[in-house]
Amino acid sequence: MTDFQAPEKPSRDEKPATSVVIVTGPTAGGKSGLALELAERLGGWIINADSMQVYRDLRVLTARPDAAEETRVPHRLFGVLGAEERCSVGRWLDMAVAEITTARAAGRLPILVGGTGMYLKALTEGLAPVPEVPATVTAEATALYDRLGGGAFAEVLAEHDPGAADALPPGDRQRLIRAYAVVQATERTLADWQNDAPTGSALDARFTTVLVLPPRDALYAACDARFTAMLDAGAMDEVRALLARELDPSLPAMRAVGVRELGAVIRGEMPLDQAADKARQATRNYAKRQLTWFRHQLTPDVTVAQGGAGAADEVSTALKKYITVRNV
């Protein structure tokens, strides 16, 4: 059943390029299949809004679209960065705005698909105005972390930003360093900056959000089935190739669900069945965190209880009531 609340229809003199569709929801909920079907029906381009699918090294473990799916409609921002890189919210936002602009110029409907809430919030509301931290300050914070280790560094951070020190695990090197560098450079915590009013969307756009929200039991079962399918599709070989590069373990791609667990199997530290159970649990935990975010941070225009192509009839009918299918 679709819970649809249509916003006001665009006026005749409104530029049709204002239409941008967002298809989001928790992992394994079927949003990618739904977005693909919508893109074919509505003349759309699919633009990635998943923080892990930007990395080319982990197609299987991050559930990126396969080659056959990518030939059906244009796909953008999937596998565009190497695992040695870091994709910040700001970096993704710059790339996404460029791809949306390109899609509009080609007369196609931009369809953002992904479940990374920070990305979607940045796109629709803008970024909080956190000042640029001087490279020297970041370098000093990094050196301090490397010298003290995560636990002791968190204790130092707690003297300046107790909220961040309490919320972040000692092993989250990147975000601990970021929190420390911000408070050192600005004398305000990162949370204080992020609570300021965002800058506003970088796009003059009418955003229409479709939330795929399966029942919790069905979602968790899909999470479990997905990881089993990933193992069958070669996830172990993918992780083996990634670990062979000996990258910084704090890099985002190195923290993707399944990398740590399957890495333990490769190193002989854990049997495969135990690692798979841990990865399935981690996937369910991630889905639960996403559900919490969507409940508190998102007001969708359309909500469906299942994704995939089977929901496309309902959703495309709803979308046509107030989006411009072609943008020129």
Q: Measured between alpha carbons, how far is 44 from 67 in angstroms, rounded to an integer?
A: 18
Q: What is the pLDDT of residue 328?
A: 36
pLDDT along the chain (328 residues), means of 10: 39 54 97 96 96 96 95 97 92 96 93 95 87 89 94 95 89 89 93 79 90 96 96 98 92 93 97 97 95 92 92 89 54
Fold of 135-195: Histone, subunit A (1.10.20)
| Domain ranges within the chain, ordered by starting residue | 3-127+198-319, 135-195
Closest-CA residue to 242 (of 88, 67, 62): 62
Fold of 3-127+198-319: Rossmann fold (3.40.50)
pTM: 0.82
